[in-house]
Structure 1
């Protein structure tokens, strides 16, 4: 599929998805949402892609929803509104549940849905000039579809502030509240992203997928006997896999497992 508002770039085992609507700070409308959902779904079926990086062309990562699109949605019927919002919710879910590790490469602004995209990724690396915000209340809206991912990233207490104030969050603040994992000067941003990519490529791809699923399994669950059983079943299943057997044998024999291949 050819995309109008995205650029998909492959560098060895890494897929870069570039939001490519720079004249509107990569704000998204229905077509952008559909293209992102399609792209995430396709990449989820690719065994040759080890890491997915989401980035933005131009001055910004993403300004969130296109306001003209939001205005049009507000004038639609309840059923049409729900269907439209569900597309955004499903797109974010397809990003959050990708089998590959995902990195948000954030520069400039990441407002509203843009902050949602960054939060839905496993790892967020931001430039020191980045600004985040859940800006919806200043438009008379609420950060509904992005809320599961933002709250997961920053916690209920911080969300209680920023959902209500819509204050801009600096890169340093984002680091302090857990939204960003690393920050770097603009000219060092790609180098920092590459460092994280190199670390990810040392892990087994099936093990990383299983670890992502484990986080979902355990998150906010009480430490019950049922949870103990579920985690025991999880590791038992992973240990029986061919990747785990190879990884353990490679370690014991002081060799590199086959999933580690040098980048060109």
Structure 2
């Protein structure tokens, strides 16, 4: 279950502890930030120079603002302590070995399809997201750490899909008979999410290489094997995050 207090503590106290450690041992600090720092964006696609549109008291605020605070702390340490920092703004990522019941849209859709349960979409399903495969993200993080660039860098796949379209793709690839159903929209659910990755291309020579369908097939196969191995004992969380 999502715990907002634990979330903000983990992201703020955890980051400041790691910054203190990096300062003491003279290490380079990598912050795994998130596209959630852009909130419900008024700029599309989102560039790293965009300051975001976040509701500071909304239901998503503890996660969104904690990541924004973490970024602020990184750059405060960079300016005051000359600490080397690298900040990756990570967009939706998926792949094998995800927690199967973590409440994320990819794992929820795949589990629902494989179990022939209703595929639940919050709202009209026209909100968009961009999904990258985990190996592309790992390559981007390695290249960012090996670079001399200290400003935030978007790491994500600029191929944009609506949530409804994404559910349909997973249903087809999994061979599911599930029905797609719409539930009440979630408060402050961003309507658009798509990274501008020009900075990553220019600075890191990085861009995603794995096609969405190829990555989904591998992930679906992993989930199917896990379900079989665990005798279908996985339970679904009621909350879904996009």
Query: What's the TM-score once normalised by structure 2's chain length?
Result: 0.28
Query: Going by fraction, where is helix more abundant, 1 or 2?
Result: 1
Greater RCO (Cα-Cα under 8 Å, separation 6 or more): 2
TM-score by length of structure 1 reads 0.26
